[in-house]
A and B are shown apart, each in its own frame.
Chain A
Amino acid sequence: MFSRAYRAAVTVPPLIWVTVFLLVPYLLMFFYSFWSVSGSQAIIHSWNFENYRELLTIDVYWQTLLRSMWIAARVMLFSLLLGYPLAYFLSFYAGNRKDLFYQLVIIPLWVSYLVRAYAWKTILGSDGVLNTLLEYVHLTKHPLDFLLYSPFAVVLTLTHIYTPFTFLPIYASLEHIPRNLVEASHDLGASPLQTFWRVVFPLSIPGVLAGATFAFVLSLGDFLAPLLLGGPSGIMLSNIVVSLFGAAYNWPLGAAISLCMLVLVVSLLFVSERLEKKWSFS
């Protein structure tokens, strides 16, 4: 067996890392969420539930939370609708071009998130590529203004950014399906469509759940896309947190919102993991 010194050498650094950069900040956030800010913008270190009361009673927080979830849900749906067929095609029909296509899907991940968000800004803006093109071919007379600075732009950008994250676990789960199960299904008289719904899809559910969770959770917490492309109608909860920690200078309320989001996300991850376990058979 390994010596005590060796075990300490491999376990202590990560433990320190996790403590300093995760546990301590979370604890601080937890404490802050029960404190408050005075009129002179000093933190008052006395315990109260004022921040949580505010969250529950002021509509704008609720509305923003619901909007964020609605945006995240659409991103999840669209990246599943794009990612699943792509993964299915790659896994079952790409033959020896599999690796090439796989790389093509992965390449966007090498480009900075910021660059991709700005790219959409260039495409969707009123003088942007898309509007110019539409006017040029006389489909529209005036630039379409719902394209940019709208929830639409946020959903589009986030879908573009997170589809590879949805694709990857789905692809992995499809690759794990033994091909003789597909043959067995055909052999027993099931058409390709029946085979898909009765064998392939059920066995890919863990991947779908993992992919959906990625897309939803990452979108829910996103703040750059709404900041750059969302406009006033595309504000998400993270933007509020950012402003509370910044210009608005209300760290305790920001911490309370963050903590609520953390609880929401952790419960989602928990549920998704339970479901994935339930649907995996290997």
Chain B
Amino acid sequence: MPRLTSSNELTPVATAASPLLRIRNVAKSFGRSVVLRDVSLDVAEGEFLTILGESGSGKTTLLRIIAGFENATSGAVWMADQRLDSLPPYKRRVNTVFQNYALFPHLTVEQNVAYGLRVARRPEKEVSSRVEEALARVKMTAHAKAKPSKISGGQQQRVALARALVNRPQLLLLDEPLSALDANLRRQMQVELKSLQREVGISFVFVTHDQEEAMVMSDRIALLRTGELEQVATPQEIYRRPATAYTAQFIGHTNLLHSEVRGGIVRCSSLCWKAQLPDGPALFSLRPENIGIVASAAPVTDGSVRVRGRVRHHAFHGATELLQVECADGLVFSVRTASRADNQSAVELDFHPADAIVVRESVDRT
């Protein structure tokens, strides 16, 4: 990345094509432990991007580097055409919604929301009208005079959101903001948050460990594993075409099939099907919902793969059931089905080779 020296290069080029935030080769170590290895990521204007990862994947560290609470060991962060990582956090046009909201306990809801405007010394008239507007947006006007300790978790969440958005940041960072809420409120807030983001049109970088939450809310998901990005794609794409075995397993359930390709024929235990792939080992991801249960007498439709097995375990999930089916050669399939199947019953499984997606083996970095 070239350093910006001439004034020419500093002129902002606000085209739709140029991303708002550019993260380039960011690495971070704390002493001997490496938290981020080499992360490069773009966030577009108005985009809802989710950084998804397990605990310890480095997602919060990445967010803290963008906010300015941590310095990257190497690499750079750019916002529009400005180097962001040389600025202290209070000079970045980035605001954060913290995991535990971090509301100031000695200030009222109203004073909390006004904080950013007051320290920027905005005229008092403007402060009160913007605070009022922000509180109305998150439906907290009625609690304006309350102290944070007197309102519920969901309400604190809304105040934290208003406190960040009132400053009209270019980018809003959200660090697992919903993880402290109970399941119902959480789902409700997911919808609210998403529509709020559409309304204000600000780019959101949302950190979560919950893949379902990521799927529901994001324009794009950046899946982080042990300090490296595993895949960055839309929820649909990341689900339908996972790039690696880890992605396939982390986002939804899947069956991983270790196979061998020879002469356009894939062999996995006793199963085989045709595929245009080079010779050698191959790993396939097959979603449980892409496996059907058919009557053994049913004719084989073109190209589909059949295998006989026995139900070893079944879990009721409401609309569907998740079965563990063991085949004769020891292969176990997870199968999602709408119909009931009893334990130990013999079933005939059927899937289409096109639904088996080739994925890369995820390298062990620990």
Q: How large is the interface on B (under 10, 10 to 19, 20 to 34, 35 or more residues)?
A: 20 to 34
- B106 and A178 within 8 A (CB): no
Q: Answer whether A181 and B88 are a contact pair too, CB < 8 Å, given A188-B116, A188-B167, A189-B167.
A: no
Residues in chain A near residue B94, CB distance under 8 A: 187
Q: Answer whether A190 and B105 are a contact pair too, CB < 8 Å, given A183-B69, A183-B89, A184-B96.
A: no
Q: Answer whether A180 and B149 are a contact pair too, CB < 8 Å, given A189-B119, A279-B106, A281-B105.
A: no
Q: How large is the interface on A (under 10, 10 to 19, 20 to 34, 35 or more residues)?
A: 20 to 34
- A189 and B120 within 8 A (CB): yes
- A181 and B104 within 8 A (CB): yes
Identify the interface centre among B94, B100, B106: most chain A CB within 10 Å of its CB: B106
- The distance in angstroms between the C-alpha atoms of A274 and B195, with both chains bound, is 46
Cβ of B163 within 8 Å of any chain A Cβ, yes or no, is: yes
Q: Of B98, B103, B115, which contacts A183 at CB under 8 A?
A: B98
Residues in chain B near residue A188, CB distance under 8 A: 90, 95, 115-116, 119, 163-164, 167
- B67 and A198 within 8 A (CB): no
- The distance in angstroms between the C-alpha atoms of A189 and B89, with both chains bound, is 7
- Cβ-Cβ contact count across A and B, 8 Å cutoff: 72
- A184 and B98 within 8 A (CB): yes
Name the prevailing secondary structure of the A interface residues: helix
Residues in chain B near residue A194, CB distance under 8 A: 119
- B119 and A180 within 8 A (CB): no
- The distance in angstroms between the C-alpha atoms of A202 and B108, with both chains bound, is 14
Cβ of B177 within 8 Å of any chain A Cβ, yes or no, is: no
Residues in chain A near residue B164, CB distance under 8 A: 187-188
Chain A residue nearest to B96 in the complex (CB): A187
Q: Please, what's the 1-or-0 string for B78-108, where 1 marks a CB less than 8 Å from any CB in chain A?
A: 0000000000111100111011101111100
With A180-B102, A188-B90, A189-B120 given, name 17 new contacts (CB 8 A). Answer: A178-B100, A180-B98, A181-B105, A183-B69, A183-B89, A184-B96, A185-B115, A187-B67, A188-B163, A189-B90, A189-B167, A190-B115, A191-B119, A194-B119, A202-B106, A279-B106, A281-B147
A residues within 8 Å of B by Cβ?
178, 180-181, 183-192, 194, 198-199, 202-203, 279, 281-282
Query: What are 16 inter-chain pairs, A to B, with CB distance below 8 A?
Result: A180-B98, A181-B105, A184-B102, A184-B104, A186-B88, A186-B89, A187-B68, A187-B69, A187-B90, A187-B164, A188-B115, A189-B90, A190-B116, A191-B90, A203-B106, A281-B105
Pairs A-B, 6 closest by C-beta atoms? A281-B105, A188-B116, A184-B102, A190-B119, A180-B102, A186-B89
